Chain A
Amino acid sequence: DTEVTQTPKHLVMGMTNKKSLKCEQHMGHRAMYWYKQKAKKPPELMFVYSYEKLSINESVPSRFSPECPNSSLLNLHLHALQPEDSALYLCASSQGGSSTDTQYFGPGTRLTVL
């Protein structure tokens, strides 16, 4: 099973809303990632959790708040977003700590901020 699942598939929210994106994997991977992807651009790394600890924060604004409740789950809490935050949000996972680590991506959540 090489599946990473993400919910919801689509999300529309206002600038004052609070919402959360969820990601789950059951491959026993110990590293999990959040990426943001705009149209015709490469995925842009936001956060990395390694063994349930935040290891990389790519200077992401505080209106995005990640959480890793356990090794299988990754959340991204959203609050007071801006219209320019509209994008495809991708979750990925990898074994973590391997020289031949490969990331497996979920299908993404298409976020629209009105």
Chain B
Amino acid sequence: DQQVKQNSPSLSVQEGRISILNCDYTNSMFDYFLWYKKYPAEGPTFLISISSIKDKNEDGRFTVFLNKSAKHLSLHIVPSQPGDSAVYFCAARMRDNFNKFYFGSGTKLNVKP
């Protein structure tokens, strides 16, 4: 049973507009969340993270929002650029097991020029 879910397998956005990628989780013990970007034939690259004590974290064009009551997080990319086209994975970790990360199935983002 997958505890981290990304229900949209793909998303297409025009260059310059906002991209919103969503992630839901089921386990209330998760306390740390991460987003990774993956290009074909490469390993995932860490993008941004958020601790459960926060509801927002921002890094340049990337902002992650966490809604603990809804067990939902989202990644906003503003403005979107063609180079952002990749597969985005969200991941979560429990407070009592730092070494085990649970990954969603990924959302493929296509930013059109």
Q: How far is the CB of A114 from chain B (nearest CB, A)?
A: 20
Interface SS majority for chain B: strand
Indicate if A82 sits at the interface (CB-CB under 8 A): no
Beta-carbon nearest neighbor of B46 in chain A: A102
**Number of B residues, CB within 8 Å of A:** 25
**A108 in contact with B51 (CB, 8 Å):** no
Total A residues in contact with B, Cβ cutoff 8 Å? 30
Contact in complex: A42, B105 (CB < 8 Å): yes
User: Which residues of B approach A to under 8 Å, CB–CB?
Assistant: 9, 31-32, 34, 36, 41-46, 49, 51, 89, 91, 93, 95, 98-101, 103-106
5 closest A-B pairs (Cβ-Cβ)? A105-B43, A42-B103, A48-B99, A105-B44, A107-B43
Chain A contact residues, CB within 8 Å of chain B: 4, 6, 31, 33, 40-43, 45, 48, 50, 55-56, 90, 92, 94, 96-108, 110
Given known contacts A42-B89, A90-B44, A107-B43, is B34 in contact with A102 (CB within 8 Å)? yes
Given A100-B32, A108-B42, verify A42-B51 contact (CB < 8 Å).
no
Question: Please, which residue of chain B has its CB at the minimum distance from the CB of A103?
Answer: B101
Cβ contact within 8 Å between A90 and B43: yes
- For residue A43, which residues in chain B have a CB less than 8 angstroms away from its CB? 44, 89, 103
Minimal Cβ-Cβ distance residue in A for B104: A42
Given A42-B89, A101-B93, A102-B49, the answer on whether A96 and B42 have CB atoms closer than 8 Å is no
On chain A, the residues within 8 Å of B42 by CB distance are 107-108
